[in-house]
Amino acid sequence: MPMFRDTGKQKTIYWFTISWDGFDEYSEGSMSFPRNEYDDAVDGIKYYLEKYKNRDAYLSGFAMEDKTSSKSLMTPELIKQVTGE
């Protein structure tokens, strides 16, 4: 299934990655998730940080992309917004 359908307008997808460190290569990991809306992505980040807090999870990536380009959204302001730190 293609990531984008050609509907005649730009389709933006927001991707975020939640990671956690481990004692070795078998206990570390990460998961990436797509969302169609920015606010849904921020809510998803908060949800998965809470879900995996026992693993000391952290946000390791956040970006938006469309058919022709991509842009990192990892800013200190965003990190403060989703972590409260």
CA–chain centroid gap for 59, Å, is: 7
In a domain, 81, yes or no: no
Tell me, yes or no, whether 62 lies in a domain: yes
Q: Is residue 16 packed enough to be buried (19+ CB in 10 Å), middle (13-18) or exposed (0-12)?
A: buried
Count how many Cα atoms sit within 13 Å of the Cα of residue 11 in the half-sphere of its side chain. Answer: 11
Provide the domain limits for residue 56: 13-74
Q: For the chain, what is the domain count?
A: 1
Within a domain: 83: no
In-domain check, residue 55? yes
pTM over 0.85: no
The answer to the question of residue 80 being in a domain is: no
- Report the alpha-carbon distance of residue 12 to residue 34 in Å, rounded: 10
pLDDT for 59: 94
For 5-59, how does the pLDDT look when each residue is reduced to its tens digit (9 = 90+)?
455 566 899 999 999 998 777 778 999 999 999 999 999 999 999 999 999 999 9
pLDDT score of 65 more than 80: yes
From residue 36, alpha-carbon distances to 16, 17, 21, 82 in Å are: 12, 15, 28, 18
